[in-house]
Amino acid sequence: MDISKIHSCFLLCSSVSIDTRKINTNSFFVALKGTNFDANTFAKQALENGAAYVVIDNGDYYIDERTILVEDSLNCLQELAKYHRNYLKTPIIALTGSNGKTTTKELFQAVLSQKYTTKATVGNLNNHIGVPLTLLSFTKETEIGIVEMGANHQQEIAFLCDLAKPDFGYITNFGKAHLEGFGGVEGVIKGKSEMYDFLQKFNKKAFVNFDDAIQFEKTTSIDRIVFSLVNHEADVFIEKVEANPFVKIVYDGIDIQSNLIGLYNATNIIAAITVGKYFEVALNDIERGIESYMPENNRSQIIFKNGNEIILDAYNANPSSMDVALDNFIQLKKANKVIIIGDMFELGDESKKEHQTIVNKLISQVDFTCFLIGKEFYNSKIENKYLSFFLSFEDFSIFLKENKFENDFILIKGSRGMALERTLDFL
């Protein structure tokens, strides 16, 4: 069956699924294979649970005419998404970057949805499977699609751009993330800039931070919309930014008070203002969209527990995001401050150096209690009266059971694998 016929079957369905535990009635199920599973074995169950069609790549699991047998289910999912994108012709904004992708994506949606019917990547489904699922969630009613793209190797962003064919692109920043896969910071810049390569090749537009010299230089040949905090000639010029601890932006005489913490989130907010202005969203609606957005999923959340005020930023971490989070926390005028941070993953040969840099930063800049958790930080430990090191979270949890935190202002940050949100259970 060719992709156009498969697409005709897909259009008869209400949704697409790759998980039999999340099958909706009349859905389109695609059986993918992983390292430890083969969803072909669940094809019959998917139909029993309400799927209208199932796509399989193993003929042993063929059921009836509702079964679509293909050579490779993953490739079919990706080709179907590409076909569907071309079929809809919905304007698409794609974004990538080392830090802030998901927050920025959600801010874009919060602003644009004030005027348009928008759909965006759910959570961080931003890889070779998540992007196709996002594209297939768009319908004829979708006026603007927002697609988040993640990568940890060269050519991944190029591949995702080929699927989504974005009309607009935005790169949040180039940071020290996935250094192992990209091969260092220069590799990060090259890999993320594959989005710029696509936009230039197909004469599409980029939203660009004028104040980021690398990005500004890389987009000189692209049709771009720029924003700035220092250059009045930018398309969007921001008059004032402050964070104490929530970010407030002054733009065009209007105060926009966000629910996001830290100056590092200011750029994400300004990018959303710029996108809103380009798409002619009224300024009052831009303000309403940004002010209505509440962070969740362990991203810069403020939580109050047992008299403690907690900044929970434990969704993920890399040297760049850790550095700005610490800078922001250190400068805040608060009493009884406590830092709880965990190892940063996927740094390869740079891991020891980057963890040591964070340790040195804390030694030189803090005069309050800091807890550093994980084997990388433990191997970088230095005797200091403010710093305590724990080899694992289990070791730290023993300390938490024996010591109470009350009326403290706490930052919690670490890589996803550290799952430092578990700290909340002990506070």
Contact 75, 262 (CB under 8 A): no
Q: Report pLDDT for 67.
A: 97
- Domain of residue 145 covers 89-292
- Tell me how many domains the chain contains: 3
**What pLDDT is stored for residue 88 in this prediction?**
96
Q: Are residues 265 and 157 in the same domain?
A: yes
Is residue 220 located within the same domain as residue 314? no
CATH number at residue 420: 3.90.190.20
For the chain of 427 residues, list the mean pLDDT of each consecutive stretch of 10: 96 95 94 90 95 97 96 98 97 94 96 98 92 98 97 92 98 80 82 96 97 94 95 94 91 95 92 98 98 86 92 90 92 94 93 96 96 97 95 97 94 95 93
Are residues 313 and 251 located together in one domain of the fold?
A: no
The pLDDT, as a whole number, for residue 384 is 95
Per-residue model confidence (pLDDT) at position 208? 98
Two tokens at 311? 């900044």
Residues 154 and 221 in one domain: yes
- The contacts of residue 232 (CB under 8 Å, 6+ apart) are none
How far is CA 275 from its chain centroid? 18
Give the strands of the sheet with 144-148, arranged side by side: 118-120, 144-148, 92-96, 168-171, 205-209, 223-228, 236-237
Alpha carbon distance 339, 361 (integer Å) = 13
Q: What is the dihedral of CA 74, 77, 79, 85, to 10 degrees?
A: -150
> Looking at the structure, do residues 156 and 45 belong to the same domain, yes or no?
no
Q: Which two tokens stand for residue 76?
A: 């079919």
Q: How far apart are CA 358 and CA 352, in angstroms?
A: 10
DSSP 38: B
Residue 380, classed as helix, strand or coil, is coil
* 321 in the same domain as 256: no
Contact residues for 147 (Cβ-Cβ < 8 A; gap 6+): 92, 93, 94, 95, 120, 121, 126, 131, 134, 135, 160, 164, 166
Look at residue 341 in the predicted model and tell me its pLDDT: 98
**In a domain? residue 83:** no
315 assigned to some structural domain: yes
Q: Is 384 within 8 Å of 363 (Cβ atoms)? A: yes
Q: What is the pTM of this model?
A: 0.88
The residue from 241, 271, 292 where one domain ends is 292
The verdict on residue 235 lying in a domain is yes
